[in-house]
Chains A and B, each alone.
Chain A
Amino acid sequence: MPWVDACAVDDVDEEDVVRWDHGERTYAIYRSLNNEFYCTDGLCTHEQVHLSGGLVMDYEIECPKHNGLFDYRSGKALRAPVCEDLRTYETKVENGRVMVLV
């Protein structure tokens, strides 16, 4: 599994999320209030809605369609209607770029 250059650090606002497409898959990249970066699968496990339109609060991402909630650090599903956890991916920052291990 290679490290892949996903985006610039500045592409993601603090406490926000952006979409990143790579290969055949789509991902969500998060930036916390503490300037940490995280990556999960992009689509909600409930009904295939992209999480990049959602709301980031602290370390949680809320799905824009049904308000299901995940901890984006662990991918853990926190509130119905999501029951299935999100897959997460390691990230690191190098030279102002967010790298994701996919």
Chain B
Amino acid sequence: MSKSTAPIGSELAVRDYSLTGDSTRQAIENGLSAAEWYHSEVPRKKLKSLMKRRDAPAIRDTVIWIALHFVFAAGGLYFWGSWLCVPFWFAYGVVYGSACDSRWHECGHGTAFRTRWMNDVVYHIASFQIMRNPVNWRWSHARHHTDTLIVGRDPEIAWMHPISLVLKALAFVGIVETWTSLKVLMRNAMGNLSQEERDYIPESQWPKAVFWAWVHIAVYAAVLVVSLVLFVSGAGWKSLIPILLIGGPRVYGCWHFVMTGLLQHGGLAENVLDHRLNSRTLYMNPISRWIYWNMNYHIEHHMFPMVPYYALPELHELIKDDLPPPNTSIWDGYKEMMGSVMKQRVDPNHAMRKTLPRTARPYLEHLHRAVPERNTGLEISDRGGT
């Protein structure tokens, strides 16, 4: 079903994942940045219907999402002091600390709701839950879509070489990431943006980044104060409740979003311009799909980021004959990904490459082997427009 080769574009002697180093310069010089990408053919009328926005599906899912926060938190509080509270906190952690990732993502794209302010409100709530500065991450994700897995350009590469399996395992309990996120928010709140943040965030947006970092830090500080006051008042273990409710789920409830997120591009090729080579589509159980808002259709999402999450299954049916066969489950995806990752730990140039169905157009190797210069104006359309 699959074989391993090293796409020419990924054969780097040394990988520098910073956004201001040698790999950045090489990516730009080689035409890998802001390049033309392959996409499957979808008739314009059909694509329009798939892109069409509705409020109803996301309102339904958001009402359920918010309601689950209250139900599970209420169960956790009601059974406090007994082991029966554990499954409630476990479930609360997932709807807070994992479902927020997909809400952050989809509302950041502006595709979840038709009504713009609804996207913005959920985006900010979810950004807070996942401890991401909503300004920084909006721009980093735009770059991720422009330059997906292009070394030196994409700030959101999850599997950077050399791969540390210990750090990846720790990510499932979120301690390192939470601490890192809080440090970034603190730094931003003090008006300090890193060189990389200054690279992908326009200067006009820097004050907004500082403002939102302040908001996040202020809320977390208030939660900490309440917790300390409870502790000093003799509340004992109950003084942890504010942290279990706000902030804590980023640690104890993030495992699901880490599990699904690592599958998006893990073990696949860097520095290619065909999402079929660097992204993974897989099938998964309906609960995970609801938490993940259908981002398991990840090739489809990268090819057509304007298609809302609720239309991705239909898009998948439409273009699946042009895509590599999807993995059949999360377990199947992990088997495939980890097999490739273990090889990448020895040879970072290794990348797994699935065999396309006969109905598919071949991988467009020439796109990353010899990328034509990208200029404004007519030359772009001559190569296929968008």
Contacts and interface: CB of A to CB of B under 8 A. Distances in A.
Of B34, B45, B204, B306, which is in contact with the most chain A CB atoms at under 10 Å from its CB?
B306
B147 to A, nearest CB: 10
Interface string A15-50: 010010100111000000000000000010011111
Contacts of B110: 62, 67, 69, 79
Interface in B95-118: 109-111, 114, 116
A50 B381 CA distance: 8
A62 B110 CA distance: 10
A62 B386 CA distance: 13
Contact of B305 (A47, A66, A80): A66
B306 A16 contact: no
A79 to B, nearest CB: 6
Nearest to B147: A47
Interface in A40-64: 43, 46-50, 52-55, 57, 62, 64
| B-side interface size class | 20 to 34
Contacts of A80: 138-139, 142, 205
Nearest to A68: B142
A78 B196 CA distance: 25
B373 to A, nearest CB: 12
Interface residues of A, number: 29
Contacts, number: 76
A17 to B, nearest CB: 10
Given A50-B386, A81-B138, A26 B377 contact: yes
A50 B380 contact: yes
B202 interface: yes
Contact of B306 (A47, A50, A52, A64): A64
A57 B377 CA distance: 25
Interface string B203-222: 01100000000000000000
Given A16-B48, A62-B306, A80-B142, 20 more contacts: A21-B378, A21-B381, A26-B378, A43-B376, A43-B377, A43-B380, A48-B380, A49-B386, A50-B380, A50-B381, A53-B385, A55-B48, A55-B52, A57-B53, A64-B306, A66-B142, A67-B109, A79-B110, A81-B138, A83-B202
Interface of A: 13, 16, 19, 21, 24-26, 43, 46-50, 52-55, 57, 62, 64-67, 69, 78-81, 83
